[in-house]
Structure 1
Amino acid sequence: MYQNAPFVIDPTGADRHAEYRALRARGPAIPVDVLGLRAWAVSDPALLKTLLTSPDVSKNGRVHYPDFQQTIRTWPLALWIEVQSMLTAYGADHRRLRRMVAPAFSARRIARLKPVIESLVAELIDELAALPPGEVVDLRERLAYPLPIAVIGHLMGVPEDQRGDFRQIVDNVFDSTLTPEEAQANAARLFKATDQLIATKRRDPGDDMTSLLIATRDEEGDGTGFTDVELRDTMILMINAGYETTVNVIDQAVLAMLRSPEQLDLVRTGRAAWADVVEETLRAEPAIKYLPLRFAVTDIRLPDGQVIAQGAPILAAYGAANRHPDWHGRDADTFDVARKAKDHLAFGYGVHFCLGAPLARLEVAEALRQLFDRFPAMELAEPADALRPIPTLISNGHQRLPVRLRPAG
C-alpha cells in the first residue's frame, strides 16, 4: 500500500509550520504515521480539492475502511471515524443528514443570532474592562472560550449547568496525546452528556436546535429521519465544531494582530476590515490543522504515479495546504490582511463544507471589533514565540494567550 517509510505526524503539534514545510517538500501526497495508523497526508491544495470532491473518497470508515473495527478499539482518535453523523456519512446518507441539519444555519437564523452575539461579546468585554490596569489576562480563558460556549449553548439549548462539562469533554476529543483508554473513557462521558441533553429537551423542548432535531427524529418515521445514534452523534458534531474551532480562530486572530501592529493599523485606518482579519487568520492559521479521516473507495492514481490503494486512510492537511506557495505565492507564510486572494480550506471543501462557517465568521469578527475598540493599547504579556500550542495534531491554538489590556499607569 505504501512505497516509503511514513512521515510521523507529531501528536503534540509542537512545531506545525516546520511540519507543514516538511510535508510539502516530500510531495503532494505522502505516507504518514498518525498515532500508529498509516495514512496518506495530502498537502497540495489542488490535489486536496480534487480528492475532497471525488466520489472515490469517502468519510464512512464503517463501509470503506477494512481495518475499521480494529482501529476503533485501539486508536486514540477513534471517535472521529466512529460517530455516525454527516461528518462520517457518504453519498445519499450524507445528503439526508445534511438536509436535516442545514436549517440550523440558515441566513435567517444566523441573522437572529447577531444581536445575541453582540450582547454576549459586550458582557465579556465589560468584565475585562473591570480589571485593574496592568493586570495580565488570559484572553483564551476570558474571551475565546466563553463566547463560543455561550453561542453554541444558546443555539443548541444546552442548560448553563451542563456547559462546563461539555467544555472539558470536547477539549479531550481534540487532544491527540490521550491514551486509547483515556480517549474511550472520554467518549463514554460525551455520549452520556449528550444523551442527558436529549432527555432534558425531550421533557422540556424549546426554541433551539436540539429540540428541532428531536422533533425531526420523532416525527419522520419513514426512514428519512435520524436514527437514535445519528441524532446523538449529530448533536456531538454540532457542539464540537461550533465550540472548539471558533475558540482557536479568536485566539489566533488576536495574537496575529498583537504581534503585527502594522496589520492592526490597516484595520484602524480603514484599509482593511475585521472580515479581512478573519479570512487571513483562517488561511494562515486554520483552526483545524489535520482532519481525520477519509478513505479511498477504489484505487486512486495520483498525478505523480503513486497509488492510494482502496481502503487506505487519507488525512486532509489543511494547515499545510493553506500555506502552499503554489496557491498563495512565495509569501504564503506571511500573515497579510491586505492580501487580495485569501482563499483557504479552513472550513473544508465540497459536500462536507462546514455549515457553521457564517456563524463562526460572525462570532470572531464581533469579538475582534469590540475587543480592539475597547482596549486600543492592549499588548502581549509574553513573547509570542513563548506561547505553547495546545497538545494536539488536530486543533491549532495556544494553551494560554496572556495580554495586558491596559498598561499600568
Structure 2
Amino acid sequence: MNRQCPIAIDVFGADAHAEAARIREQAPATAVLLPGGVTAWAVGRQAGIRRLLVDPRVSKDAYRHWPAWISGEVGAQWPLAIWVSVQNMITAYGAEHTRLRRPAATAFTARRAAGMRPRIEEVVSELLDRLADLPAGQVVDLRSQFAHELPTRIVFELFGIPERSWAPLHKIINAFFDTAITTEEAQRNAADLHVTMADLIAHKREHPGDDMTSALIAARDSDSAGDGAGDSDSAGDGAGAGVGARLSEKELADTLILLFTAGYETSVNLICTALHELLRNPGQLALLTQGLASWEDVVEEALRIEPPASYGLLRFAVEDIDMGEGVVIPKGDPIMVSFGSAGRDPAVHGPDADRFDVTRSTRGQHLSFGFGTHHCLGATLARLECAVAVRRFFERFPAAALAPAQARQLPRVESFISNGLRELPSVLGPQAR
C-alpha cells in the first residue's frame, strides 16, 4: 500500500468525522483496513473524489476489476460482500452501467419525483396530525415517528410494495447498513433479502400496478426489451451482455434492492439531520422564518455537513492511478470515497466547514448524491421529501426543541457507511396558531 500503515476503519462509525479528517489530511489517497482484513484506499479530499468519480480508469464492477474477488480470496463470507456481489447499475462499469441504469432512469424520472409533491404533502400532514395528538410535553423520537415514516410510505408506495413486505424489508435494510454485524448475520441477512425480493417480484408479476416495480418487471419481461443476451440468471461477470440486452432476473432483483435501500435510508438520514441541525441551532431556524434563507438551503447544507452515506463502497482501479504527492493506487486495488470528508473539506468550504450555516455560499458544493455517471437517481425525490417535511414540521411546531436530557450527544447508527442519528428525542411544544 505504498508503504503506508493502513488506518483501521471503525465499523461502528463512532467518530466518523474525526476519522474522515485524518484520512483527508494524511494524503490524496490513504491506505485503510476494512472488516475481514480487506485493505483499500480511502479518498477524502473533494477535488480527488470529484476526479475519481468521472475517471474511466475507476470501475465499480468487482467481477471484472477486483482480482481478490475474482480469485475467491474475498468471497461471500466477507461481511461486506453484499455491497459488491449485487449486479445493478451501482456496481456496473462502462456499457454495462448504461444498460442497467437505463430501465431505472426511465421509470424514475425527475418529473415523476416532482409529481409526487401532493402525496408527500398529504403524508406529512397525516404524520403531523398524529404527532399533534400526543400528550403535551411528551418526548417524541422524531426519527422513528416522523423522519422514518415519510420515506417509508413514499418509497414503498412508489414501488407498489404490499404492506406485508414492509416489516421484513425494514429489518433487512437496517442490517444491510450495519457494518458491525458478524459474518454469519450478514450472510443470513443476504439470504433473507433474496428470498424477500423473489417473493415480491413474484407477487408483482401476478398483481402488476402503476408503480416502479411493475415497470421494471415489464421492461425485463418484454420481448421487445432486448435480444435476450442478458437473460441468464447466473452471477457471471456480466461483461458479455450488450447495451440493448434486457435485465436478467438477478439484475432485476439487485436493481430493486438498490432502489429500495437508497430511496429509504438516504431520505431518513437526511430529514433527521436537517431537523436536528435546526433544533440545536435556533439562530439558523430564525433565518428561515425571517425569509433570509430557503428550506432548500437547509437541505443542501444538511447534505453537505452530514451526507446520508459516509463512504461509498467499493470502486476498483482499472489501471494504476497517480493521485499525486507520490501516492499511486495500483491496478486492481479497491477504493472508497469519503463523502463525509468531502462535505467538510476546508479547501472548499473554509476553516469553519464543521459549522452548520444555511447561508454558506458553498452549501451546494457537495458530492453527497455522487457525481458523474453514478449520480443518484433519487436525489430529486430525497431533496423534495426533506424540504417539505422540515418546512411543514417547523410551521406546525415552531417551539419544538431537543429533549433536555438528550441535547448534548445523540446516538448515531452503528455503521461506517450509513450516516445518521439512531434517534432524535424532542419536545414538540405548542402548535402554531
Fold match (TM-score > 0.5): yes
* Contact 2:348–2:362 (Cα < 8 Å) also in 1: no
Give the distance between the partners of 1:185 and 1:71, measured in 2 at CA: 18
Runs of 4+, deviation exceeding 4 Å = none
Tell me the residue number matched to 2:372: 350
Counterpart of 1:64? 65
Is the 1:61–1:81 contact (alpha carbons within 8 Å) kept by the matching residues of 2? yes
Please give the residue correspondences for 1:189-208 in structure 2 after superposition, counting only pairs within 5 Å.
189-208=192-211
Report what 1:83 is aligned to.
86
| 1:276 counterpart SS class | helix
Alignment of 1:190-269 (within 5 A): 190-219=193-222, 220-222=225-227, 223=229, 224-269=245-290
Q: How far does the alpha carbon of each residue in 1:29-62 deviate from its partner, in whole angstroms, 9 at most, with x for none?
A: 1100111210000001111111110110000011
State whether residues 105 and 359 of structure 1, in contact with CA within 8 Å, keep that contact through their aligned partners in structure 2.
no
Note the 1:130-141 alignment, pairs <5 A. Answer: 130-141=133-144
Distance (whole Å) between structure 2 residues aligned to residue 385 and residue 18 of structure 1: 18
* 3-state SS of paired residue (1:302): strand
Q: Deviation per CA, 1:98-142: give whole Å up to 9, x if none.
A: 111112322331232111111111111110010011000101000
1:359 equivalent in structure 2: 381
Structure 1 CA distance for aligned equivalents of residues 394 and 430 of structure 2: 14
Residue in 2 that maps onto 1:283: 304
1:27 aligns with 2:50: no
CA contact 1:169–1:186 (8 Å) conserved in 2: yes
After superposition, give the CA deviation of every residue in 1:254-308 in whole Å (9 maximum; x if it has no partner). Answer: 1100110000000010000110000000000000001110000011112112111
User: What is the one-letter code of the residue matched to 2:141?
Assistant: D
**Counterpart contact for 1:176–1:392, Cα < 8 Å:** yes
Give the distance between the partners of 1:272 and 1:164, measured in 2 at CA. 38
**Is residue 169–residue 190 contact of structure 1 (8 Å, CA) maintained in 2?**
yes
Counterparts of 2:152 and 2:75 in 1: how far apart (Å)? 28
- In structure 2, the partner of 1:405 is 428
Partner Cα distance (1:305, 1:81) in 2: 29
Q: Structure 1 residues 194, 308: closer, same or farther in 2, change over 3 A?
A: same
Q: Distance in 1 between matches of 2:269 and 2:104?
A: 24
Q: Does 1:176 align with 2:179?
A: yes
Unpaired segments ≥5 residues, structure 1: none
For residue 374 of structure 1, what is the aligned residue in structure 2? 396
Q: Distance in 2 between matches of 1:351 and 1:388?
A: 34
Structure-1 separation of matches of 2:218 and 2:304: 37
Matched, 1:388 2:402: no
Give the count of matched residue pairs. 408
8 Å CA contact retained: 2:57, 2:317: yes
**Alpha-carbon shift at residue 23 of structure 1 (Å):** 1.4
**Equivalent pair of 2:220/2:246 in contact (CA under 8 Å):** yes
Greater shift in the superposed pair: 258-267 or 13-22:
13-22
* Per-residue CA distance 1:319-356 (angstroms, 9 max, x = gap): 01110011111111111000112110100111000011
Higher mean C-alpha deviation, range 287-296 or range 302-311: 302-311
2:232 aligns with none
Q: Which runs of 5+ in 2 are unaligned?
A: 230-244
Report the aligned-residue RMSD: 1.2
Identity of aligned residues (%): 50
SS of 2:307's equivalent in the other structure is coil
Q: How far did 1:407 drift?
A: 6.5
Residues 310, 416 of structure 2: 8 Å contact kept: yes
| TM-score w.r.t. length of structure 2 | 0.92
